[in-house]
Structure 1
Amino acid sequence: MKAMPWNWTCLLSHLLMVGMGSSTLLPRQPPAPSPKRSFVTFRGEPAEGFNHLVVDERTGHIYLGAVNRIYKLSSDLKVLVTHQTGPDEDNPKCYPPRIVQTCNEPLTTTNNVNKMLLIDYKENRLIACGSLYQGICKLLRLEDLFKLGEPFHKKEHYLSGVNESGSVFGVIVSYSNLDDKLFIATAVDGKPEYFPTISSRKLTKNSEADGMFAYVFHDEFVASMIKIPSDTFTVIPDFDIYYVYGFSSGNFVYFLTLQPEMVSPPGSTTKEQVYTSKLVRLCKEDTAFNSYVEVPIGCERSGVEYRLLQAAYLSKAGAVLARTLGVRPEDDLLFTVFSKGQKRKMKSLDESALCIFILKQINDRIKERLQSCYRGEGTLDLAWLKVKDIPCSSALLTIDDNFCGLDMNAPLGVSEMVRGIPVFTEDRDRMTSVIAYVYKNHSLAFVGTKSGKLKKLAL
């Protein structure tokens, strides 16, 4: 992830709840100019860039993942503790990393870019994964950032690769009487033999346990992971899956992704590369990943297609928006930001849209596809994983809302795109981030823009 010049103002969701001028989606008179407000700020060291931020929901403490450092801040952005993570001598070609065995590649002083930051509430620790040493992780005590563990001696301990701009996302699934699971999704940067693109790992109670980050299940033929086949790179040499967001809901874990595809434009006999936004779903209890399903997502407004996912956030509908959408207030909604088109991943167009997906509707579409495939209709529709079309196989069974797959008809792709509901568009200052929450029965969304502006939308 590219380090940004660090002059940021940290505006957190709980600070944003204090009044700001709002932009509603209904016609209204232009609001009177709001008086300028001063916000509490925190600035890191000049050479640092901030990569990730998490807030402890119990204490309000803020954890910042930066280049070469982890910060713990108070709710008013005062530094409480810091933990240094780099730089150190490394080379991206060292595999295993030099801390495991001698590396013959030339070593240089290398920054450690924070690639993932997660709070493990059950064990009161912070999981901080960086770019050094093929992406090993530290487990830090929340109270004082004391290092509880740093597993690095097994292949399973290298989670995120060394590509600083690669995307990594993690989702913790917690249990009351068992060790938790960590679902990890990552870009592989052309190294599918080293890193699965998605996997589930053990989160042991003991931070120094030998089984920390081991695959939940692994034998000679089946494991709790999916790797990108080498054949895929013969079709799309720079293929990768870029993970934008992840969350859990009900019995499932979800990831939102960007994936390159080769398509033929209308009237053309040649193929060109585009990017497709897809939602990936897995059952929490599926150790063999037979439940893997992905479905394309996007939205359209006034004939303009918005297909490049920029950001997403899971929230509840709230009573007011629920009435408009015909759902329950407690139903899950996905608030997503897309930019226009499909061709420019790194240099997205400024035209962007905020769109809402009703999660139940996506799940219903997945269930319909599962049912049709188990009737023997169509193919698995997962070009990057199967390379060639594989027909669905017929089987007599009941597929309900919580069906978790079999060792047939899996993994599965949905070919028809699920379209979100566009609620706001911006043509000049591309939206790049979003959060949402319910306040007094109203659903509010905050979107950040390319130029650093913040917009509050009452939906």
Structure 2
Amino acid sequence: MASWVWTLILLSSSWPAGHGSRPWKLEFFRSKTELNHLVVDEVSGTVYLGAVNALYQLTADLQLVHAVETGPALDNKKCTPPIEPSQCQEAVDMDNVNKLLLLDRPAGRLVECGSLFKGICALRELGNISHRIFYEDSSGEKSFVASNDERVSTVGLVTSVGKDDGDGGPGERVLFVGKGNGPHDNGIIISTRLLDRKDGKEAFEAYTDHTAFKAGYLSANTQQFVAVFEDGDYVFFIFNQQDKQPAKNRTIVARMCKQDSFYYSYFEMDLECQGASGDVYSICHAAFVAPGPTPEASQVLFAVFSKDSKGSGGTPRSALCLFPLEKIHQKMEENRNKCYMGAQGSSSETFYKPFHGDIQCVSHGMASQSFRCGSEHLPYPLGSRDGLVGTATLQRDGMNLTAVTVTTENGHTVVLLGTSGGRIHKVFLRADGTSMEYGSILVEMNKRIERDLVFSTNGTNLYVMTQDKVLRFPVQECLSYTTCEQCKESRDPYCGWCVLEGRCTRKINCLRAEEKNHWLWSWGDSCVTVTSAQPQNMSRRAQGERLMRGLPTHQTFILSLSTDHVEVLIILTFLRTPVFLTSHMYPFYDCKEAMSLKENVP
């Protein structure tokens, strides 16, 4: 039996170089001392770092522009600045740990506070941090802002309060501060500070004589502040509090009106993260506010927690919990009403006076609604042990989650989590509240990812800070997936297959992505396939008009002596470009050969 040979035109399935893996250069900056804080200017892209004894100003790609020494200097935690050796004989050279590093973009300045000299602060130019705008070390206790204890955290928020200045300005710029107390701190837990001279007061003094909470019993409970943020007219603080009677760690969310000069509106309550089986994660390590995964949850608090080591058997256990801000507001108002209306259940076991002790709830009528931001008729802030409970959307055993940041890509929520082991975990949060980890990056082995996890101005890169290094990573590597199948299997919510360009891209980088079936999301539709062919097969003797071109010998198709057909890989490409669309195995047969193989074959 004679064999027969065909030649068919098969359009190339290759595409230009550069549409495959795109290597990227790892960009990083190393500090000589331990890093404490990282902030990014959303307008210029400039990166600012606060470190032990130093401040750094970097370009977006982490090239050094300016460096400033902030320590060491003669100091003693018991002494009041300015430090004079004759007045403070115990003074020795001490490191200056950066406690606060904040941008005041409207005023073009940087706020920085250190652990030296009782936690005093300075203002510097954003464009050149070497230029110090304001610094005063002789104002006494009224200028002590941050904690001077290296182990006690301090958080801050720069915002505007008061009425506009008449020219459409944002009002007065102030600094809200939350801090715990070390053995030589001034006892102030929460305060509001001026950032400009006003009524004879200098920057960093209290906004009014009443805008400060001072702990009434320093030895009873201790606080470690985690985060501060604003939502409309309110400022929120997140902190851990170690109660001693009874001994218990509590995560607390506190809220107050920005315009409240007396702190009458201050309210705090417990924030609890529970696992699916009811186990409690009681210590908050980091928090971030961003839009939620559903339209109903406009703003959500994303927080990472861990279990108390005593209750976890020594094995690290962590969880991510979500708290819609609307639900936090609702629960706080519910609690305020209970206390102010003297409702049943408003006992001293539930309500207390923050930082000072017990409280007796009495009826004030409709005071909670009538005086939303407090008044002299409600002369005390409130605390409640009846707080908000969230169910963990992600739980991890064997690791400590230390950082969290959130972004939205085409309406899809992406959560990036840092660990104490030096990894970044990438998590896709679905609209139904479930989550799936789709990748991870090893930043530095066994180097803790610090809390300041920040996106670049355009959202394409992530700045990650470890003990002494800042690194910049791309948030996605879509171009590294060279086929539609690889792109889909990545499950990266940033990525999709750009059909007419034959590459894996972000939607924004695909020219005709808005047209139906032109950009196939990695979590969506399947790749382009041939679902059927008409006719389903074809005789080699079929007559028709076709384009024929001789193929290289290794690409010719020979019908073997033991078969009556051959399957040919047909590759479909877009127009005359070499962009691969799909491929399909198509059978060609020869009835004459079939009859030669077996008798009675129809």
TM-score, normalisation: structure 2: 0.62
Report the Cα distance in structure 2 between the residues aligned to 1:151 and 1:401, rounded to whole angstroms.
42
Match of 1:157 in 2: 143
Report the Cα distance in structure 1 between the residues aligned to 2:264 and 2:353, rounded to whole angstroms.
17
Letter in 1 for 2:239: T
8 Å Cα contact 2:223/2:242 also seen in 1 = yes
Match of 1:248 in 2: 230
Whether 1:107 and 2:88 are equivalent positions in the alignment is no
Report the Cα distance in structure 1 between the residues aligned to 2:55 and 2:371, rounded to whole angstroms.
39
8 Å Cα contact 2:113/2:122 also seen in 1 = yes
Match of 1:298 in 2: 272
Whether 1:214 and 2:211 are equivalent positions in the alignment is no
RMSD of Structure 2 on Structure 1 (CA): 2.5
Task: Return the match for 2:56 from 71, 74, 98.
Answer: 71
Task: Return the match for 2:82 from 98, 101, 118.
Answer: 98
Q: Does the C-alpha gap of structure 1 residues 152 and 276 become closer, same or farther in structure 2, counting only changes over 3 Å?
A: same
Q: Does the C-alpha gap of structure 1 residues 119 and 401 become closer, same or farther in structure 2, counting only changes over 3 Å?
A: farther
1:395 is displaced (CA, Å) by 1.4
Task: Return the match for 1:174 from 154, 160, 165.
Answer: 160
Superposed CA offset, 1:249-282 (max 9, x none): 111000100101135xxxxxxx5x2211000111
Match of 2:191 in 1: 199
1:120 is displaced (CA, Å) by 0.7
Larger relative contact order (Cα-Cα within 8 Å, sequence gap ≥ 6): 2
Match of 2:10 in 1: none
8 Å Cα contact 1:179/1:205 also seen in 2 = no
Report the Cα distance in structure 1 between the residues aligned to 2:35 and 2:255, rounded to whole angstroms.
29
1:286 is displaced (CA, Å) by 0.5
8 Å Cα contact 1:159/1:195 also seen in 2 = no
1:153 is displaced (CA, Å) by 2.0
Superposed CA offset, 1:420-446 (max 9, x none): 231111101211110111121111110
1:366 is displaced (CA, Å) by 0.3
Q: Secondary structure at the match of 2:330?
A: helix
Match of 1:423 in 2: 393
8 Å Cα contact 2:157/2:177 also seen in 1 = yes
Tell me how many residue pairs correspond in the alignment. Answer: 393
Letter in 2 for 1:69: A
Letter in 1 for 2:283: L
Report the Cα distance in structure 2 between the residues aligned to 1:374 and 1:105, rounded to whole angstroms.
53
Superposed CA offset, 1:46-84 (max 9, x none): xx0000000001011100000111001111010011111
Whether 1:258 and 2:240 are equivalent positions in the alignment is yes
Report the Cα distance in structure 1 between the residues aligned to 2:428 and 2:392, rounded to whole angstroms.
14
Task: Return the match for 2:211 from 198, 212, 224.
Answer: 224
8 Å Cα contact 1:363/1:401 also seen in 2 = no
Q: Does the C-alpha gap of structure 1 residues 383 and 367 become closer, same or farther in structure 2, counting only changes over 3 Å?
A: closer
Report the Cα distance in structure 1 between the residues aligned to 2:314 and 2:306, rounded to whole angstroms.
6
1:35 is displaced (CA, Å) by 10
1:39 is displaced (CA, Å) by 2.4
1:92 is displaced (CA, Å) by 1.1
1:203 is displaced (CA, Å) by 1.4
Q: Does the C-alpha gap of structure 1 residues 443 and 102 become closer, same or farther in structure 2, counting only changes over 3 Å?
A: farther
1:134 is displaced (CA, Å) by 0.6
1:118 is displaced (CA, Å) by 0.3
Match of 1:89 in 2: 74
8 Å Cα contact 2:77/2:184 also seen in 1 = no
Unaligned runs of 5+ in 1: 1-33, 264-270
Task: Return the match for 1:186 from 179, 185, 190.
Answer: 179
1:117 is displaced (CA, Å) by 0.3
8 Å Cα contact 1:376/1:391 also seen in 2 = no
Report the Cα distance in structure 1 between the residues aligned to 2:418 and 2:341, rounded to whole angstroms.
45
Q: Which moved more, 1:395-404 or 1:170-179?
A: 395-404
Q: Secondary structure at the match of 1:382?
A: strand
8 Å Cα contact 2:46/2:59 also seen in 1 = yes
Unaligned runs of 5+ in 2: 1-20, 162-168, 430-602
Whether 1:362 and 2:328 are equivalent positions in the alignment is yes
Whether 1:353 and 2:319 are equivalent positions in the alignment is yes
Match of 1:117 in 2: 101
Superposed CA offset, 1:80-121 (max 9, x none): 111111111111111x22348953331211111101100011
8 Å Cα contact 1:308/1:342 also seen in 2 = no
Superposed CA offset, 1:210-254 (max 9, x none): 421221211xxxx11111013x52xx3xx3211100001111000
Q: Does the C-alpha gap of structure 1 residues 397 and 338 become closer, same or farther in structure 2, counting only changes over 3 Å?
A: same
% same residue: 30
Whether 1:410 and 2:410 are equivalent positions in the alignment is no
Report the Cα distance in structure 1 between the residues aligned to 2:114 and 2:332, rounded to whole angstroms.
34
Superposed CA offset, 1:269-320 (max 9, x none): xx5x221100011110000001111110111112321111011011112xxx
8 Å Cα contact 1:340/1:349 also seen in 2 = no
Structure with higher Rg: it is: 2
Q: Secondary structure at the match of 2:333?
A: helix
Match of 1:376 in 2: 342
8 Å Cα contact 2:288/2:301 also seen in 1 = yes
Q: Secondary structure at the match of 2:337?
A: helix
Q: Secondary structure at the match of 2:29?
A: coil
Match of 2:557 in 1: none
8 Å Cα contact 1:195/1:227 also seen in 2 = yes
Q: Secondary structure at the match of 2:393?
A: strand
